[in-house]
Structure 1
C-alpha cells in the first residue's frame, strides 16, 4: 500500500474568525478556518483548503486586485505572503503587534495595515521593480490615534487612507507627500467607530459607530450664522473643511458589529450583535432589506466587486453565508459542527463522508465539492457512532440519548428508531455486512443490544462484559462474527445468529479503547490505554502481533504543565484505529497531535502525520517558551483583557469583570486540546479522513501531479509540432498543440492521427490534458462529419481515464455536457438511417433470383419524402439540425450506392 498521503482538504468547518475576502471576479470566496484558509468556488460548487498553516489562528487576510498575491496575518501579527494562483508560500514576515485590518490599495501597489495605534503603509512586492533584499518594504507610518485602530480603507484613486479607531474618531491620511495637507480628524461619534468609507466620487465620507449612528461628511465651507456681525471673509477657501452634513441612526436593540459599503451602487450593509443584518441605500439612507442569519452576532461582512453577493460570517457557530440581495436568495449556506466531532464514516462509493458530533447533529459532506449536503438533528444528545449499510443507501447512528436511528439517504429522513427496554446510553455502533442486523454497545448495563432492521424489534442482549463497551466491529466480508472491546480488559467475539461466543475472551493488559476487524474477518486489532496495539487471530484465538505506539506518538506540552512532554502520560495511546482496504496497514490516532500509519506484517511505522501546528491549541508544542512563565503561572492563562472598555471583548476572555481572577465558572478557562477522535480509510483506497479539533482533515494521494516530458528541453513551436506529426509522433504532437493552445493546430493534429493509434495515444496522454481533449471534442462534434472517428476517441478516453473522470466530474462537466447533447440530437437520426437501410437489405436478400432495374433500385433506396418527413423537417428550425439531416441523407446515399454497385457485380456474375 502506498503511504505518500498529503493533506488535500479541510471539511467540517467553514469559518472560525477574521474577515472574508472575495476575488476580483466575485465568484470565489476566501474564508479563514482556524490557522488555514479555505477557498470556496461559488460558480463551480467546489472548495479546497490551502496547504500552508499559521502558528496561530488567522485574524485577517487580504487579496490584491490582480488576484495573485494573498496575505494572511495571525493573532500575533505574523504574516505569510502567498502566490494565490500557484498556491505556494513566498515569504514569512512578523509585524510584531496585533493586526486588526489589512487592505490592498485599488491599484495594487501598496497595502495598509492597522497595527496597534499606528497605520503602516507597505509596498506590494512586484517583479517590475529591481530586486530587493526584503520582499516587504515599508513606505510610511502614520500616527495620531489615541487608541487601537479598528479598520483601514482606501479611496478609489489610491491616494488617501481612511482609518477608524476606538478613540471615537476617524482620520484621513495621504499616501503622497504633496497631499499632506489633506490630513484631517473626523470626530463627533459617541462610541467606537467601526468602519469609514469614501463615496464613489470621493466627495463624501460615511462613518459608522458601534452605537448605531452613521454620519455623512462633506468638504464644505462653514455654515453662515445669521446673528453673526462679522464681515464675510475675502477668501472662502480658508473655511473649507470636512464637516458633518447629515446624521442617521439605526435604532437597533444591539450594537453594530460590522459593516461594508459598495461605492458603485451606494449600498451599505450593516451586521448587528443579534444576528440581524440590514441593507441601506446611501446617501438617502433608505432601508432596502432587513433579515437575520440566526441569533448569534454577525462578525464580518464583505461584498463582491459587482455588489450582487454579500458574504456573512458568524464565529459563534461557525456559520458562512453568501446572499444575493437583489433576488433575495442564498448562494451558499454552510455551518460546521458546534461541538467536537465524535465519529466519521465513508459511504461505500467513497463520494461522501458523514460526521457525528457532540452537538447531536449528523452532517453529510461531499468529498469533491467540500460542501455539506444535509444535516440531521433528530438526536437530542451527543452522537457516538456512525455506520453505513452495504449498499450505502441506509445509515445508522447511535447516541447518548438512548436511541439508535436508521436514515434513508435517498429521501433524507429517519425511518427507523431502535431503543432498549430501559433508557441507557449507547457508546458504539456496528452493522452486519448484509444490513439486516444493527448492534449497539452500552455504557450503563455493559450489554450489547441487537435489533432487526426490518422489524425494529430487539432480538437479543449479549451480556458478558463487566465494563462499558467501548467499540464494536463487523468484518466487511460475508461474516456473522461480531467483535467487541470493553474497559474490562477483554475482547469478545460473538456469533450473532448462534447467540454465543465463538472463542474465549481475549485478555489484554489494560483497558481496551478501540477495536477494528480486518476486511477479510480473520483478524482483529485492539488498542489499549497503555499505548499498545495487539493483533489476534479470530480462528485460532491467539495473539499474532503487537505494536508499541507510545514511542511513535507526538504529545506536546500543555500550557499549565509543570513538566516536559517526555514525562507526561497524557495522550500516550490510540483511541481510534482503522484497517486499510488490503488489511496490511493500520491507521491510528488519539488524544495527541499525530496520526500513525503502520505496516502490520513488519510491525513498523510507515509514516507519521502531524495533525496541526496551531499554537492556539494545547498539545501542539513540545517545548514551552520560558519567558512566558511567571510567578503566577503561564502568562497565556492570565487575563490581560481586564482593562478593555468594551464589555463584549472582556466577555471573550476568562473573566467578565475587570480585575476578576476567577470569572464565570461556566466559561472555558483553558485552551482547547488537539486530539483525533476518529479515523477512516476511503473505499477508493486513495484517501483517508481524520476527525480532529481543527475539523475533518482529508489526506489523499495526489495522482494529478504527473510527469510531462514536454516540459524538459524541447522547443515547443508550430514548426516542431508539424515536424513531430510528420514523423508520426502523435502523442508528442498532440501535447505540443495543447501547450501552444492554437485551435487550428490542435484540429490538424487531431485529424491526422490514425484511427488504429487513437487508443494508444489516449492511454499515454498525461491526465492534465484530458480535460482539454474532452472540451475540444465536445466543441467539434456538431460540425464535424467524422462521427465514428470522434466516438472512437470518446470511447478510448473513458476506457483509459474513466476512473479519474468519475472522481473529478466538476472538471470535465462542460465537455461531458457537450458530448451528451451531441448524442441526444444525432443518435436518433443515425439510428433511423441504419434501420431503414437494414429493411432495404432484408428486402433484397429475400429475393435472390429476382432482377431489379438500376433506376428502380436507386429510387427505392433514396425514396421520396413522405408526409412524416415533411412535418418533421418543418418542425426542425435549427440550422445545425438541418445540416445534420443532410449529413445523414448523404450517409444513406453513400450506403445505397455501395449496395447498387454490389448488385451490379452480382448481375454480371
Structure 2
C-alpha cells in the first residue's frame, strides 16, 4: 500500500475573510480560505488550493502585476511571499502589527503595507534569486491619526493615496520631491474606505463608509498680491527651467486639489463595506452591508447597474483587468460570486456549508463527493474540478450521514429531522422520503449493495429502521441496542448488516434471513464508528478509549486490537485544564474506513491528525496533519504562557466589542451556545475531522474537517524505483532507441524504469498505431500497473482518446489472465480506468446531445426558409394567374 498521499485541494469552503482578487489575465480568482488561498480558474472550470499555509487566518492578499509573486498576510501581520505559479514559499516576514491592506505598485517594484497609522513601502524581493535579507524597507510614511485602511497607487507608481479611520485621505510621493508636502483630503464624516485615481490621473475619488463619494480635481489658485488674479493650477516652488520641467513631470504632486463634486448613494439603512474602481472604463463598483452592489460611471455618477445578491453584507469586491467580470465575497455566508455585468449572468456562484460539515461519501466511480452539513444542506462536489454543482435543501435539520448506492445513480441521506431521503443523480431531485412511525432522530445510515433496501439507526429510540427503496414502505424495525446507534454498514455481499452502538456492543443482523436473533459482540468501550472490509470477512470498529477493534465476521470474535490513543492525541485547547498528553477528550477515532484493497485502515477523530494503519502488522504507516492554522483551537501542543492570567487563558479571538460596524459589535446569542451563527459566536473553532472516506479508485481520500473538505491524492511523480537501473539507462539512450533504432518496446520499458512522466509520455505518443497490439503482448507484467496508471492519467489530460482506447483494449486482451489472477493488486488501477471511461462516456453523450440540438435547430431553420421562399414564389405566380401547388 502506497502512503505518499499529498494535499491536492480544499473544497467545501470557497471564501472565509479577506479580499478576493483577479489574476492579471483576468481568467482566475484568488480567494482566501482560512489560512490557505484557493484559485478558481473561470475559463477551464477548475479550482486548486495552493499548498502553502499561513500561521493564522489570512487577512489580506496581493498579487504582483506580472502574476509571479503572491503576498499573503495573516491576522497577526505575519506575511509569506509565495511563488504563485509553483505555490512555494520564498520568504517570511513579520510586520508585528495587524495589516489592513497590502498592494503592489503597478511596475511591481514596491509593496505598500499599512502598519497601524503608518504606511511602509518595501522593495519587492526577486522571485528568481534566493537572498539572505530579501525585504528592504524603502520609506515609512506618517501623518494619519488612526489606522490606515487602504493604499491606492497611481498608474505611474510615483504616488499613492492612503485612506484612514481618521476620516481623511492623504497623498504621498514614492521618492522625495523638492517643496512637496503630503496632500490631505478631508471633509468626509465617516471612515474613508478607498481612494482611486482616474485613468488620466487628473481626478481622485474617495469613498466613505456613510455612502459619500467625493471627486477631487485641480483647483485654480489665488495670487498673494492680488486676490482677483488667478494663478496656474501648478504650485511649483521654483520658476526656473528645471523647476518647470520637474513640475510637468510631477503634475499630480504639485496640483492643488479641491472638491469638485460630492455624490451620495442614498441607500437608506446601509453602509458601504467595500469598493473598487476600473480606471479604463471609469466604473466605480461598491458593495453594501445589505448585500446590494452597484456600478456607477464616474465622474458623472450615473447609475449603470444595481443588484442584490444576498441579505448579508458583501465583504470584498474585485474587478478583472478588462472590466467585464466582478468578483464578490460574502464572509458570513461563505459565498463567492463572479458576475458578468454586461450580460447580467453569473460566471461563478459557489457557496460552502453555512455551518460545520458532518459527513462525506464518494460516488462509486470516484468522480463526485457528497457532503452533508449542520445547515441541513446536501451538496455534490466534483472531485477533479473542486466545484459544487448541485445543492439539495430539503432537510430541515442537521444531516448526519450521506451514502451512495453501490449500483445506480442514487444518493441516500439521513438527518436529525427524522427523515431519510433518496435523490436521483440523473435528474437531481428528491424522489423518495422515508419516515418512521414515531418521530426519531437518525444518526447513521446503510444501503444494501443492490440498492433495494436502506437502513437507518436512531439516536433516541435505539432502533434500526429498514425500508424498501422501490415502494418506500417500512419493512422491519430491528431492536436490541440499549443506546444510540452510531454506525451501520452492510457487508459487500449484502447478506449481513452490522450495527455499532454506545452500549459497548456490535451486532450482526441477517436481515434477509428468517431469524432476527443476534448475539452482541462486546467492545471495551462505547463504539463510535465501524466499517466492513471490502471482502466482507472483517469489521473494524473504533471505540471511545482510542482503540480500533478488528472482528472476524464468521467467528463473531475480536481478533486483534490497535491502540491508537497516543497516535490520535492532538493539541491542547485554550480552555483545557489538562495538557495534551493527559487529556482524553481528543484521544479517540470517530470515523474509520478501509482502503480499496483492504490492506490498510484510515481513521480520523476530534484531533488535527488523520492516520493510516497497516492492517496485518498493526502499525501506523503515516500520520497526516490536516491543518497548521493557529486560529483554530487544538493546533498547538503547548499553550503560550504569555496569554494566561489569574482568571485563565486570554482568548485572542475575542474582539471585545471593537468591531468596525455596530452589527458586528452586538451579540444577541444565548450564553453558552455552541452552534448557530458563525459570525456571532464567541468561541474558537476546533480543529477536528468528522468523517474520512477512501475513493473507490484507491488513489485519493477525503476528510471533512473544520477547514472544509480536504482531498489528498497519491503523488505519482515521486514514485522512483532504482531497481534494474544501469549506467546506460539515460534519457539520451531512450530517445536514441525511439527515434533512430525504432525499438519501441525497449524504449518504453526503459522510460518506465526511469519513471519520468514527461519521458514516458514522449515515448508513448511516438509509438505507431500498428505496433500497439504487438507491444501489448510483449510488455512484461511487472510494468503493467505502472503503465495502466499512466494511461489513466493520460486519459484525463490528453485529447488522444482513440489512441488511449486502443492501448487499453490491447492490454486487457493480452494480459487478461494475469489481471484476473492479481485482481486485488490491480483493483484500484482498474477502478481508475473505469472512472476515466465513464467520464469519457458522459462527455461524449453531452457533446452528442448538443450536436443533436444544433442540427435540429439548423434543420428547422432550413424548413422555415423553404416555406417562406415557397410562399413568396406561389404568391408571385398567382399574380400572373398561374396556380401551382408547392
Per the normalisation by structure 2, the TM-score is 0.82
2:542 is aligned to 527
Q: Secondary structure at the match of 1:176?
A: coil
Which residue of the partner structure matches residue 613 of structure 1?
628
| Whole-Å separation in 1 of the counterparts to 2:175 and 2:425 | 61
Change (3 A) 1:112 1:797: farther
Q: Does 1:124 align with 2:121?
A: no
The 1:759/1:358 distance shift into structure 2, 3 A limit, reads: farther
Partner of 2:229: 232
Deviations 1:623-654 (A, max 9, x none): 11111112233222585544566424534899
The CA distance in 2 between the partners of 1:509 and 1:371, in whole Å, is 42
Matched, 1:263 2:269: no
Q: CA deviation at 1:114?
A: 1.0
The equivalent residue for 1:217 is: 216
Give the secondary-structure state (helix, strand or coil) at the position aligned to 2:716: coil
Aligned positions of 1:252-401 closer than 5 A? 252-253=267-268, 254-401=270-417
| RMSD of aligned Cα (Å) | 3.8
2:421 is equivalent to residue 405 of structure 1: yes
Structure 2 CA distance for partners of 1:805 and 1:214, relative to 1, 3 Å: farther
Asked whether the 8 Å contact 1:28–1:42 carries over to 2, the reply is yes
1:703 shift after superposition: 2.1
Aligned to 1:427: 443
Match of 2:478 in 1: 462
Shift of 1:64: 0.8
Does the 8 Å contact 2:544/2:588 carry over to 1?
A: yes
Contact 1:36 1:50 in 2 (8 A): yes
Partner of 2:877: none
Match of 1:10 in 2: 10
Measured at CA, do residues 215 and 716 of structure 1 come closer, stay the same or move farther in structure 2, by a change above 3 Å? farther
Aligned to 2:143: 144
The number of residues matched between the two structures is: 786
Rounded Cα–Cα distance in structure 1 between residues aligned with 2:762 and 2:506:
66
8 Å Cα contact 2:702-2:711 kept in structure 1: yes
3-state SS, counterpart of residue 100 of structure 2: strand
Secondary structure of the 2:401 match is: strand
CA positional deviation for 1:59: 0.7
Q: Structure 1 residues 730 and 586 mapped into 2: Cα distance closer, same or farther (>3 Å)?
A: closer
User: What is the SS of the residue equivalent to 1:178?
Assistant: coil
Q: Distance in 2 between matches of 1:189 and 1:169?
A: 7
2:66 equivalent to 1:66: yes
Distance 1:88 1:518, change over 3 A: same
Partner of 2:883: none
Q: Which has the larger radius of gyration?
A: 1
Shift of 1:276: 0.6
Specify every segment of 5 or more residues in structure 1 that has no aligned partner in the other structure, as ranges. 657-663, 737-745, 779-789, 825-909
Q: Distance in 2 between matches of 1:322 and 1:94?
A: 32
Q: Per-residue displacement from partner, 1:543-591 (whole Å, max 9, x unpaired)?
A: 1111111011132111122332112111111111111222221111111
Partner Cα separation in structure 2 for residue 106 and residue 331 of structure 1? 27
Inter-partner Cα distance in structure 2 for 1:234 and 1:274 = 46
- Cα offset for 1:68? 1.1
Question: Is the alpha carbon distance of 1:269 and 1:638 closer, same or farther for their aligned partners in structure 2, counting shifts above 3 Å?
Answer: closer
- Secondary structure (helix, strand or coil) at the match of 1:103 reads strand
Q: Any conservation in 2 of the 1:440–1:472 contact (CA below 8 Å)?
A: yes
Distance change in 2, residues 1:183/1:730 (3 Å):
farther
Inter-partner Cα distance in structure 2 for 1:753 and 1:452 = 54
1-side partners of 2:594 and 2:335: how far apart? 34
2:220–2:230: 8 Å Cα contact kept in structure 1?
no
Structure 1 residue 599 corresponds to structure 2 residue 596: no
- Assess, with a 3 A threshold, how the Cα gap between structure 1 residues 617 and 309 changes in structure 2: closer, same or farther: same
Q: CA deviation at 1:17?
A: 0.4
1:230 positional shift: 3.5
For residues 588-667 of structure 1, the aligned pairs below 5 Å read 588-636=603-651, 639=654, 641-642=656-657, 646-651=661-666, 667=680
Q: Deviations over 1:315-334 (max 9, x none)?
A: 10100000000111100000
Q: Hey, what's the Cα distance between the residues in 1 that align with 2:194 and 2:504?
A: 61
Deviation by residue 1:824-852 (Cα, 9 ceiling, x = unmatched): 9xxxxxxxxxxxxxxxxxxxxxxxxxxxx
Instruction: Report whether the alignment pairs 1:701 with 2:744.
Output: no
Distance 1:198 1:810 in 2: 53
Which segment is superposed worse, 752-761 or 577-586?
752-761
- SS of the counterpart of 1:246? strand
| 1:742-781 matched pairs, under 5 angstroms | 755-756=770-771, 760=775
The 3-state SS of whatever aligns with 2:329 is: strand
Structure-2 residue corresponding to 1:200: 199
Separation of aligned partners in 1, 2:457 and 2:762? 64
User: Alpha carbons of 1:179 and 1:512: their partners in 2 closer, same or farther (altered >3 Å)?
Assistant: farther
Which residue number corresponds to residue 134 of structure 2? 135
Which residue pairs with 1:688 in the alignment?
A: 701
1:473-512 to 2 correspondences below 5 Å = 473-476=489-492, 478-498=493-513, 500-501=515-516, 503-512=518-527
Q: Deviations over 1:417-465 (max 9, x none)?
A: 1111111111111111111111111112111111111111111111111
Query: Would you say 1:679 and 2:703 are equivalent positions?
Result: no
Q: Does 1:444 align with 2:455?
A: no
The equivalent residue for 1:80 is 80
Quick check: 2:83–2:127 contact (8 Å CA) kept in 1? no
Pick closer, same or farther for the CA change 1:665–1:390 going to 2, 3 Å: closer
Counterpart CA distance in 2 for 1:771 and 1:381 is 40
CA displacement at 1:751 relative to structure 2? 8.4
**Match of 1:98?**
98
User: Distance between the aligned counterparts of 1:342 and 1:747, measured in 2?
Assistant: 45
Give the SS at the match of 2:739.
Answer: helix
Q: Is the 8 A contact 2:654 2:682 kept in 1?
A: no
My pick for the range that moved more, 453-462 or 769-778, is 769-778
Give the Cα–Cα distance (whole angstroms) in 1 for the partners of residues 833 and 180 of structure 2.
Answer: 61
Does the C-alpha gap of structure 1 residues 752 and 457 become closer, same or farther in structure 2, counting only changes over 3 Å?
Answer: closer
2:807 maps to which residue? 796
The answer to whether the 8 Å contact 1:495/1:501 transfers is yes
